[in-house]
Structures are given as structure tokens and as C-alpha cells.
Amino acid sequence: MMSSFLAYPLAELPFVFVVLMISFALHEFAHAYFADQFGDPTARSMGRLTLNPRVHIDWVGMIFFLIIGIGWAKPILVNRSYFRKPRLMSIIVSFAGPFSNLLLGFVSLLIFHALLQLQALDSISPGGREAVELFSRNMIELNIFLFILNLIPFPPLDGYRILEEVLPRRAAAKLKAHEQWLFYAILLMFFIPPIRSVTLGPIFALKWPIFNWFDALVRAIFGAL
């Protein structure tokens, strides 16, 4: 009965939890790392320049993700006034988080295929093999999903921060004036069940073309070896 209130099957929750811990930590670290490299000491001074998940996890956001499939980590504060090229460097900092998830998804798929090629899973118990497969599947699919999700151009997602920098200044100022309403819109999209069912579904579906392309690429890599 309890599993009907969760976004994932009860048996998968431990795997999803660990995957999110790793994925959120890498995402926020990527933001912090590039901001620090571009001269902004804010993240470093706040102790955020680390891969330690405890520093980055927002437990309310984590619980929301496990229950409804959408959540958040603690955002990295960025002061773009430190940047030599504020617009370009802000775009890179914002994109670094989602890209880190995409890269993690690809590397996870690469490792899983390597395990299959080396027949490393054949020597472990059926339960152990199932655990590896569940962990790998969630690591791959959730990170591709996080990449897509975070590039949606609504506040407070990374895609919105990128859009702010790409738009002409006048258009960006007009967008900024409506930021509050855009934020309310994404709350409706993701947290009101009838609306969520028609918004999250298409977003989840977008991960499959990326997964299929990655899978074909990895198979080509191993086929060439």
C-alpha cells in the first residue's frame, strides 16, 4: 500500500536514494567548481567545493523526489560580478550542473556495458546481479532525466539562468519582471497531480532518444575494440 504513494517501487528506493545522493552532489559540485575556476570564491567560502553529498543534499527536496519524482538539492550561490566575462561564464557555470549529470549517465552506461562484456556479472548471485542492474539502470536513466529537467527554462532551474544570459538585456529584464509567475507555473506543472501527469510524462519520454543514442555509441565503442 505504501508503495502506491511513492514515485518508485519500494524495492528500488534504496538504489534511487543512493543514485540521487551521488547525482545531486556531482551536479552542485560542477556549478561550484566552475564558478570557483572563474574567480568567484562564494562556493568555496561556504564549503560547497566538495563532492560530499551531505553538504549538497536538501532533505526536503530528497523526500519530494522519492515521493513524486521531482526534487532538489541546495543551490550553489554564484556572484557573477567576479567573472571576467559575466554572461559567457554564467552560462558555463549554469550548464555545468546538467552536463555533469549527462556525463555521469553516459559513464554509468559505459561501465555497465563493460561489466557485461567482461562477463563480470556471471560470477555473482542472481540477487547481486539484479542489484547491479537496478543501480545501473537508475544511475543511467535518472541522470539523463536530471539533464533534461534542469534545462527547462523556468526558474529556479539552470535552463532559466542560461536563458537569462542568452537573451538581449531588454528581453532579459522583461523576463525577470515575470520571474515570480514563471516560478508559480513550474510549481503547478510539477506539484499538482492532474497537471504533473501531462508534464512529467513528456519530460520522462525525452530521455529515451538520448539513452538510445548513448547505447548505440557505447555498443559501437565496444564493437570496435
Within 10 angstroms of residue 212's Cβ, the number of other Cβ atoms is 10
Query: Using the 8-state DSSP alphabet, how is residue 38 labeled?
Result: T
Grid cell for residue 10: 519500494
How many Cα atoms are found within 13 Å in the side-chain-facing hemisphere of 186?
18
Whether 207 contacts 141, CB under 8 Å: yes
Q: Which of 12, 28, 141, 164 is catalytic?
A: 28
Contact 187, 195 (CB under 8 A): no
Cα gap 148→99, rounded to integer Å = 10
**Euclidean distance between CA atoms 37 and 19, whole angstroms:** 27
* Contact between 157 and 186 (Cβ < 8 Å): yes
Radius of gyration of the chain (CA): 19
Active-site annotation holds for 28: yes
Active-site amino acid positions: 28
